[in-house]
Copies of this chain bind each other. A is one copy, B any other.
Amino acid sequence: MARIVMKFGGTSVADIDRIRNVAKHVKREIDGGNQVAVVLSAMSGTTNQLIEWTREASPMHDAREYDAIVASGEQITIGLLSVILQSMGINARSWLGWQIPIKTSNIHGAARIEDIDGTEIIKRMQNESQVAVIAGFQGLASDGRITTLGRGGSDTTAVAIAAAIKADICDIYTDVNGVYTTDPRIVPNAKKLNRISYEEMLEMASLGAKVLLTRSVELAMIHKVRLAVRSSFEDPETARPTRDSDFTNLTTGISNHPGTLVCDEDEIMEQELVSGITYSKDEAKVTLVNISDKPGISARIFTPLSEANINVDMIVQNVSEDGKYTNMTFTVPEGDLDKALKVIEDNADNIGYEKILSATSIVKISVIGVGMRSHAGVAAKMFETLAKKGINIIAITTSEIKVSVLIDAEYIELAVRALHTAYDLDVN
């Protein structure tokens, strides 16, 4: 017996038939002896329609009204799932954010969850085997008004509920069956990960693996909530329910979970040296040619960028031959490139440079693994592998659990495949 949270997104509840399918997933877990809370998004399309109406009503709208409007979508799906579960003989009830309540900050449109009292939900699970069907994405501000949590809000709700009811696991049902060592579209024999640590997942999430959003992984890490990514396309009746052994078997370190388990490093016995290879195409490169190579020049460039909320990632400064002039190259998110160029040009007199170059035909490739903390040579193998393929490295950054390099975009597939093989990640 386990206590679990199951989260389903908008495409999984897009119509009555799909909600019925979700109900079968829930029934399987109930029949397997588990206590279940379900967190749902709105029907796919609904939230966008509501946002569109609100914008049409007024482009400059009150965020409190926006929240009240868009929060109505989840109200429908949780009611419908409850009705279907009841018709299957399962005790279920819907919970809106304000009913639990899910207390949040007052930042409408992007509220943060502050407190959830899970007592009543736990009591009903224990005493009545009642399934709590909870609206994702929404909460209640201290002024008594509805808030929404912003992008990825339903995942955040699921993790926060899991923490509040002390769930053993929070299963996020998605359109993929787990987290892979890299993008299977580039490397067809990419391997599904059995377990991955929060830290690694955070790097995977922020570097382009779209499965889980950074925010929900961070929240799970803080509250030590085991997260799992699993497929909503599995046959809901033949798939097997979640079991204690899916996450408590620390002897083998192998999870039986059908998807990928995201958990504390301590729960993963045999750490792989490298867990995955990710890439990000949303990078742009800016090069300032012939700036004066003198103290304080970095501050003159990067302070105005920072003030403009532009996140500079990698920085390379070429040593100048005569010690007078140098080139400075850095990367910014592709969407911020125009803004960044304008900031630099506005500060041209203060910085002093000959010309400015930019390119978006670059890509960042990262090798991720908590194992590299205790093993040297991960970065060296990366550089060596890329060099062998004739791929030039434009810039490098490293952290405790990742090494990232910037390369020309045209080498992306070649690089990812070569690294995937080099770190022994290919499925045999």
Contact = CB atoms under 8 A, between A and B. Distances in A.
Interface of A: 16, 19-20, 50, 53-54, 56-58, 60-62, 64-66, 68-69, 71-73, 75-76, 78-80, 82-84, 86-87, 93-94, 96, 98-99, 144-146
A57 B84 contact: yes
Contacts of A60: 87
B65 A82 contact: yes
A144 B57 contact: no
A54 B79 contact: yes
B93 A57 contact: no
Contacts of A94: 65, 68
A58 B94 CA distance: 15
Nearest to A86: B62
Contacts of A71: 75
Q: How many copies does the complex hold?
A: 2
A60 B69 CA distance: 29
Given A57-B87, A62-B83, A68-B96, 13 more contacts: A53-B76, A54-B79, A54-B83, A57-B80, A58-B83, A61-B83, A61-B86, A61-B87, A62-B82, A65-B93, A69-B75, A69-B80, A96-B146
Contacts of A73: 72
27 contacts: A16-B53, A19-B57, A20-B57, A50-B76, A54-B79, A57-B80, A57-B84, A57-B87, A58-B83, A58-B87, A61-B83, A62-B82, A62-B86, A62-B93, A65-B83, A65-B86, A65-B93, A68-B78, A68-B79, A68-B96, A69-B76, A69-B80, A72-B72, A75-B75, A96-B146, A98-B98, A99-B144
